[in-house]
Amino acid sequence: TYVVTDACIRCKYMDCVEVCPVDCFYEGENMLVINPSECIDCGVCEPECPAEAILPDTDSGLEKWIELNNEFANQWPNITRKREAPADADQWKDVKNKLETEFS
Ligand code: SF4
Ligand code: F3S
């Protein structure tokens, strides 16, 4: 499966939802997540994300994000259509560790 990681936070460009063949993205206030039990591992979303937030779960060090995607995919609503990204999305694009610095 693929996972959405820190770079999505406050960027939320939503290009990913337009290309997913199985519509397995779920939407929180500040980011999206992928439902690991629905993702078919096709990889088409990875290059679509302008923030490079989507990674294969086989990459190292993603344990926290694998858990977070799984947890919130079961709580947040499904999203299948792209909307306008947040007005300040570009300002957040290159900020690192947004989960730690903004939400703890
Ligand atoms: Fe959807 Fe494919 Fe991305 Fe999985 S890897 S979230 S199936 S586009
Ligand atoms: Fe987030 Fe990238 Fe999709 S910023 S909403 S994972 S296109």
Is residue 99 assigned to a domain? Answer: no
Q: Measured between alpha carbons, how far is 20 from 34 in angstroms, rounded to an integer?
A: 10
Atom of ligand 1 nearest to the CA of 1: 4
Number of independent structural domains in the chain? 1
Residue 45 near ligand 2, beta carbon < 6 Å: no
**What are 41's two structure tokens?**
């591992």
3-state SS, residue 97:
coil
Q: Measured between alpha carbons, how far is 44 from 17 in angstroms, rounded to an integer?
A: 10
Is the reported ipTM for this assembly greater than 0.90?
yes
Is residue 9 assigned to a domain? Answer: yes
**Among the residues of the chain, which ranges form H helices?**
15-19, 63-73, 89-92, 98-102
What domain range is 26 assigned to? 2-83
Is residue 77 assigned to a domain? Answer: yes
Q: What are the tens digits of pLDDT across the range 16-41?
A: 999 999 999 999 999 999 999 999 99
Is residue 56 assigned to a domain? Answer: yes
Q: Give, using CA atoms, the residue closest to atom 4 of ligand 1.
A: 39
What CATH number has the domain bearing residue 63? 3.30.70.20
